[in-house]
Structure 1
Amino acid sequence: MKVAAISAIALASLSQLVSGYAINGDNVNCRSGPGTSFDAVRKYSRGDDVTLSCQTEGEAVRGDSLWGKTTDGCYVADYYVQTGTSSYVADKCGASDSGSGNNGGDSGNTGNTGGSGFCKNVNSATLEMVKDFEGFESSPAPDPIGLPTVGYGHLCETKGCGEVTYSFPLTESTALSLLKDDLPKYSICLAGYLKSSVALNDNQWGALTSWVFNVGCGNAKSSTLVSRLNAGEDPNKVVSDELPQWRLAGGKVFSGLVRRRAAEVKLFTTPSSSQAFPNCQ
């Protein structure tokens, strides 16, 4: 491991910059936020030294959910930085340092991504709903429109789902662990699309995370649902109007999607005193 010594003076400096860490990968993306759904700002080559201004939790990459913000103003997954540890080596990013989200061209989207503000994880009611609608696959198999999935709706990124760190065939326990690894990617990009003025409880947050998990971050970003929430409309009305429209797969109406949207609306409109966005309680 190429890890440079950190001087006491550097640690005591106002900027708390931590330098001398090498990139361990080829063409590694540095992104606008702590997740692979965020725009790639620049690329690093293997062996490049980076200086970290702060670190934050984000989407898990090969089991490591830590991301570092470099002095280039973008985020790189800790998995690709040879810090020599899976714990923090720099200050934790504050709300003002945690990225502006995947906002390429999104006018008026202030975002609230990273730091410890919003809930990256979802509540148990959401987990049970997602498990129920996704169904369990112990080994990679095509979903209803032919896409290879495994566990509870994990879409394979490589041949044979080689990116999955759990052994096949999955058990229901390891499939649940995989789902818990996957969902923060979608809650993180959702947080990047919503203004901090949008207040959501844990049931509302979970319902929307389930929707994004199902339709993808890109579709959620450009949706009328998100734009209406950001415009300050009543969340219950927006979701009741908009979610049922997301019932197509492969250009066809799927009864399973109709049921899923109804379940998401029901969860969203179920009262809860636990806030999840923009601050997690």
Structure 2
Amino acid sequence: MKGSTIPLLFAGVTLTAAYPITGDVVNCRSGPGTSYSVVKQYTQGQDVTITCQTEGTNVNGVTIWDKTADGNCYVSDYYVQTGVNGYVTGRCSGACTAPKSNQATVDLIAEFEGFEPNVYIDPTGNPTVGYGHLCQQAGCAEVPYPIPLSQADGKRLLASDMARFEQCITAMITGATLNLNQYGALISWSFNMGCGAAQTSTLVARLNRGENVNTVLAQELPRWVYGGGVVLPGLVRRRNAEVALAQTAGSGPALPVQC
């Protein structure tokens, strides 16, 4: 059993005991995600006091981020030795959280990922189930639904897996106003290509310069159709579907998030 915490009360804020940093050099960021700016850094063994915790970008299987008292910034709980795998203090009130994707986005990603109700080994050698869920435990024991999966439960699991892409897109889009369909097109694209590739893309740079969203998506998404230097028809179809989703009217607002 991991260690307990000792609550402290300071200036009306509930704090927990100080916990050591486990990484060599750990970034403390302005928000709960790897795409937020770095405010300060901690070194291995340095103690940090946590004011609150919230969900954020997945770091090596950990989605909890800790807000530190001295830096008023966020560090991944993966690098903080709290002694437990879950929350040791209250949730951060007013913390920015990424919008959830709409059903049209979930359905689009599901269509292109394909569905397998039983655990199988994917082409990269990883045990997988449902709509591309990579198993974290033997037999996908972390999945909260019975296996073989129903398609409905598979889509629920997919929506959960999409959370880290929602976090990273929310963190990196700082200069554009998006509705849920435009946002969904970006979630599908990053789910397919990766958050790292998205963050360094011309597409994101153009959006953050304030260019017209649908113009940028229509021009930039079709460029992401190559695999091994060859145009892949499946990626062409997916990019076309993402552009079509972005251009579909009638969805509510997504970004910027109102914190």
Taking structure 2 as the reference length, the TM-score comes to 0.77
Q: Which residue of 1 aligns with 2:15?
A: 18
Query: C-alpha deviations, 1:236-280, integer Å up to 9, x for none?
Result: 111001101111123221111111001100111111341111126
1:55 alignment partner AA: Q
**TM-superposed deviation, 1:74:** 3.4
Give me the whole-angstrom Cα distance separating, in 1, the residues matched to 2:209 and 2:28. Answer: 27
Query: C-alpha deviations, 1:37-68, integer Å up to 9, x for none?
Result: 779954656xx753113332224679874421
Give me the whole-angstrom Cα distance separating, in 2, the residues matched to 1:131 and 1:67. Answer: 28
Quick one: structure 1 residues 147 and 198, their matched pair in 2 at CA, closer, same or farther if it must change by over 3 Å? Answer: farther
Q: Which residue of 2 aligns with 1:270?
A: 248
2:119 alignment partner AA: S
List alignment gaps of at least 5 residues for structure 2: none
1:154 alignment partner AA: H
- Mapping of 1:1-281 within 5 angstroms? 1-7=2-8, 9-10=9-10, 13=11, 16=13, 18-20=15-17, 22=19, 27=23, 32=29, 33-35=31-33, 41-42=41-42, 44=44, 49-59=47-57, 65-70=63-68, 71-72=70-71, 73-77=73-77, 82=82, 86=86, 89-90=89-90, 92=92, 94=94, 115-116=95-96, 118-119=98-99, 121-137=100-116, 138-143=118-123, 146=124, 148=126, 149-155=128-134, 165-166=142-143, 170-172=148-150, 173-195=152-174, 197-279=175-257
SS at match of 1:210: helix
Quick one: structure 1 residues 55 and 4, their matched pair in 2 at CA, closer, same or farther if it must change by over 3 Å? Answer: closer
Quick one: structure 1 residues 63 and 170, their matched pair in 2 at CA, closer, same or farther if it must change by over 3 Å? Answer: farther
**TM-superposed deviation, 1:3:** 3.0
**TM-superposed deviation, 1:69:** 1.4
List alignment gaps of at least 5 residues for structure 1: 95-114
**TM-superposed deviation, 1:220:** 0.5
Q: Which has the higher strand share?
A: 2
Give me the whole-angstrom Cα distance separating, in 1, the residues matched to 2:27 and 2:142. Answer: 23
Question: What is the root-mean-square deviation of aligned Cα atoms in Å?
Answer: 3.7
Give me the whole-angstrom Cα distance separating, in 2, the residues matched to 1:210 and 1:250. Answer: 20
**TM-superposed deviation, 1:225:** 0.7
Q: Which residue of 2 aligns with 1:102?
A: none
The answer to whether the 8 Å contact 1:34/1:67 transfers is yes
Identity of aligned residues (%): 35
The answer to whether the 8 Å contact 1:117/1:280 transfers is no
Give me the whole-angstrom Cα distance separating, in 2, the residues matched to 1:126 and 1:43. Answer: 40
Quick one: structure 1 residues 91 and 163, their matched pair in 2 at CA, closer, same or farther if it must change by over 3 Å? Answer: same
Give me the whole-angstrom Cα distance separating, in 2, the residues matched to 1:78 and 1:155. Answer: 19
SS at match of 1:67: strand
Give me the whole-angstrom Cα distance separating, in 2, the residues matched to 1:39 and 1:232. Answer: 20
Quick one: structure 1 residues 31 and 130, their matched pair in 2 at CA, closer, same or farther if it must change by over 3 Å? Answer: farther
Quick one: structure 1 residues 37 and 147, their matched pair in 2 at CA, closer, same or farther if it must change by over 3 Å? Answer: farther
Give me the whole-angstrom Cα distance separating, in 2, the residues matched to 1:164 and 1:60. Answer: 18
Give me the whole-angstrom Cα distance separating, in 2, the residues matched to 1:64 and 1:177. Answer: 19
**TM-superposed deviation, 1:185:** 0.9
Taking structure 1 as the reference length, the TM-score comes to 0.71
